[in-house]
Amino acid sequence: MYHSRMHFRETHTEGQSLDAGTFGVVYLAEKTTNPNTAVVVKYYKPDNYQEPGVLPECSLRTEIRIMKQLQQAHQHQGILQLIDSHLAGPTQWLTTPFMAGGSLQHFLETYPSDISIPFMWHVLYSVTESLLYMYFGIRSVDPMGTTTADPNWQPVIHNDGHSGNIFVGPACPPHQPSNFPAIVVADFGLSRSFPPGDFTFCYLAAEEFCKLSTAVIGSMTDVHRGSSQQFNELNKWMRIFEGHIRQGCRELTKPQGLLKVMLGLRVVADQQRRMNTTRISLEAETDLASVPLLEPAGAVDKDYWKAYHAQRAAQTIQPPPGFGFEQAPPEGSYVLPGLGLDAPK
């Protein structure tokens, strides 16, 4: 990993550590030619190849390949975009936009009182949108618009879907129904792609879709266990959502069945998020767009970078948190016709 970080620092300024997991480490950074615009860099831990139970395909190389595949034809707003990458022997890194709200898991834990019913449906709608693109190549954003799938699409399953791999970004664009924050699927190191028409994919995707949906809603309701009224209300909607999934389970292993259930759930989620409010607010009228973490990507660290550059200009640079790295080692990275948009009954 030392070589990767040295190579990255030739063109970027590496900042504070953001996360460290089984497969890699993540830092905040900025490109030297575009200062004050924050990006995220990920380095992979190659030693994990030797760890028991870790598959060889769990790599930064896999993640870069899948991300390039997903954004080759279309840059979907619900898929974390790949900005840049480098793969040359032991030198491996990738950069993505900085998601100022952090992971959904972190967001739920940090702002538990701001998790409303409309927000929960917004998350489910957004994740379903992302999965429809990953599974079928469906690009439509407007639920009432034309919904088509790509007959030549290579489906992708995430394989590691949970609230820690779903990120919260700046407030949605003006054409969206509210100022809900963007919900983005990320971390594709365990993902798999399939040839077009591979029915094995349909079985795996259906299982993943059910598990991910339950996990995401469950993570929201868990936050509210201390508030019985809010918890019970969220639980009620979770049971409704799971009921829609179970209603279509017999057909989920078929491409048409999986697609129809997901399209139906997307409509249900969109209707529910619009029903009670056009702005994300609770009894306290808390507007999530006003939370500092949800400012446009990079703005949250404006003061951090400003102070850093001031120190550099004054030649009194102090390494920011996580700026250092380990000591250098000794010399020696389809249209599917006939499928309506009605929700499952």
What are the residue ranges spanned by the domains of the chain? 2-98+297-313, 104-290
Question: Residue written as tokens 């969109």?
Answer: 270
Mapped onto helix, strand or coil, the DSSP state of residue 182 is: strand
CA 265/CA 66 separation, integer angstroms = 26
Interstrand relation of 181-185 and 166-171 (parallel, antiparallel or unpaired): antiparallel
Give 173's pLDDT tier (boundaries 50, 70, 90): low
pLDDT higher for 74 or 194? 194
Average pLDDT over residues 3-17: 80
CA 67/CA 260 separation, integer angstroms = 26
Q: What's the mean per-residue pLDDT of the chain?
A: 70
- pLDDT digit string (tens) for 295-333? 333 333 444 444 444 444 443 333 333 222 222 222 222
Helix extents (H) in 14-101 = 60-72
pLDDT higher for 49 or 7? 7
- What's residue 266's pLDDT? 83
- What's residue 141's pLDDT? 54
CA 226/CA 279 separation, integer angstroms = 25
Give the type of residue at 182.
Answer: A
CA 3/CA 148 separation, integer angstroms = 44
- pLDDT digit string (tens) for 108-152? 888 777 777 778 888 888 999 999 999 999 886 555 555 677 888
- What's residue 225's pLDDT? 64
Question: Residue written as tokens 């000794």?
Answer: 330
Fold category of 2-98+297-313 in CATH: Phosphorylase Kinase; domain 1 (3.30.200)
Tokens encoding 18: 């953001």
- pLDDT digit string (tens) for 271-304? 777 775 544 333 333 333 333 333 333 333 444 4
Q: What angle do CA 264, 127, 262 make, to 5 degrees?
A: 20
pLDDT higher for 19 or 341? 19
Is residue 188's pLDDT more than 90?
Answer: yes
Average pLDDT over residues 16-27: 77
Q: Are 26 and 103 in contact (CB under 8 A)?
A: no
Tokens encoding 156: 């992708």
Mapped onto helix, strand or coil, the DSSP state of residue 175 is: coil
